Amino acid sequence: MPDRYAYLGPEGTFTEAALLTLPGAAQAERVPFSTVPAALDAVRSGFAERAVVALENSVEGSVPTTLDELATGEQLQIVSEIHLPVEFALLVRPGTALADIKTVASHPHAQPQCRRWLAAHVPDAEWRAATSNAEAAQHVADGLYDAALAGSFAGARYGLTALASKIHDVDGAVTRFVELGLPCPPPARTGRDRTTVVAYIRDDHAGALLQILQEFFVRGINLTLIQSRPTGAGLGSYLFWIDFEGHVEDARVGEALMGLRRVCAEVRFVGSYPAADGVRPVARRGTADEDFAAASDWLAGIRGKS
């Protein structure tokens, strides 16, 4: 188990809660950082062995800072993922009433998940951005803001009380976190795996995305996330963050990756790891490992090499 983890802090974030679900994390040293890039750089520099950061929310979608850091920064690799149900509490200093609240702080991903609740209960309050929900709670404790949207567990850490709890506009919201380390052999295939890659299109032309998607379609691989991001090299220059079912050791995944490598300017492997939802992909007829092996044997026979 890693001896030291980096994560988006301060203490009391949902990221810390996700981190604590990992085996052995409670006994390891946990170091909070003020930004996602700083937490990832802690691994790149060797200060920490692993980092845990948020990647995607079921309501607000992907976290651009995480995607951009992993797509274009010094390479790191996903070794596991965590799905954490997310509900917010309205944390205030003791003695604060709803009528007293003029400012509410949170991470930018939290406010949209509670927008309707805030409009109904504190319609005159102005929202303020924080780098994390725990930082928002810290600012409330320091008297900078009146209330914070954060996990209820952050209240005790910062001496705040929950004026309301289980706040959300959409039931069942889940945030996906990833555990990252330096590039290494991926965890062993479980049959319930997910793989992440970043694909850079070679040039902006009609059908560029279709070329990428076909590599997955013809091999029966289900995509679970695809997100385009600018490369920064100019208008029309894009990369695609792609999550899909399967492991790099699967024959169909391996062939898809080789296909991507042929048609793309660059392909970055970000990891194969056990899927947190535990769902086993169903291989379409002709796309299971034994189908690829049989086809390879057949071709070898034609070539006279069997």
For the stretch 214-260, pLDDT in tens is 999 999 999 999 999 988 777 777 899 999 999 999 999 999 999 99
Nearest to 174 by CA among 96, 86, 48, 260: 86
- Could you give the 3-state DSSP secondary structure of residue 214? helix
pLDDT of residue 201: 87
Burial of 256 (0-12, 13-18, 19+ CB in 10 A): buried
The Cα–Cα gap between 231 and 289 comes to 35
To 10 degrees, what angle do helices 36-44 and 64-72 make? 30
Cis amide leading into 108 (omega within 30) = no
- Residue 38 has a CB neighbour count (10 Å cut-off) of 15
pLDDT of residue 306: 63
Q: Residues in the chain with pLDDT < 50?
A: none
CB neighbour list of residue 42: distance below 8 Å, 6 or more residues apart: 6, 31, 33, 48, 51
